[in-house]
Amino acid sequence: MIDDLSEEKVVEVLNEEEVQARFDKSKEKAKKLLEDKDKMDRFLERLEKKLKHIPVVGGILSEIPVLILLVKAFIEKRYLEIPIGSIIAIVGALLYFLSPLDLFPDILPAIGLVDDAAVLTLAFKLVHDDVVEFKAWRGKNQPKEQ
């Protein structure tokens, strides 16, 4: 049972291949989601609501608000200096984070966000430079945006 898993078991279950497979599946869903602006807007709203219910956001999870802002700026065509592959990777990781059907339900203490963080970390490695460039652009162009 998942409740009985120790952190060591979590690491065993979350091997790189599994994380990659979950990320790839989420990217396919992201491609479809990006084609529908209304669905994308609703998705981003649900994501922001979920963030409000996470008691401690640190590490890679602390980057989620910036990723949301980046996706919004891209959707609104205010920031287009990012490859579509990076947007798909970001949305895919955010989809996985929002999904209630991931490997470890988020309500489980300590391990509930482990798989989410693993997928987000993988995505962030791929898009890190793009996020840094967005942060610089945002600092110069939209310092008052939340």
- Per-residue confidence (pLDDT) for residue 11, from 0 to 100: 41
Top pLDDT among 98 and 34 is at 34
> Is the pLDDT score of 109 beyond 60?
no
For residue range 92-105, list pLDDT tens digits in order: 999 988 886 655 55
The reported pTM is 0.77
Split at pLDDT 50, 70, 90, the class of 19 is confident
Distances (CA, A) of 126 to 10, 33, 111, 120, 145: 23, 20, 24, 10, 25
- Per-residue confidence (pLDDT) for residue 50, from 0 to 100: 82
Which residue carries 């489980």 as its tokens? 108
For residue range 54-105, list pLDDT tens digits in order: 755 567 778 889 999 999 999 999 999 999 999 999 999 999 888 866 555 5
- Average pLDDT in the 118-144 region? 89
DSSP string covering 80-142: --S-HHHHHHHHHHHHHHH-TTSSS-TTSTTTTTHHHHHHHHHHHHHHHHHHHHHHHHHHHH-
At residue 54, the 3 state secondary structure works out as coil
> Is the pLDDT score of 13 beyond 70?
no
Distances (CA, A) of 134 to 94, 97, 126, 142: 17, 21, 14, 11
- Per-residue confidence (pLDDT) for residue 106, from 0 to 100: 53
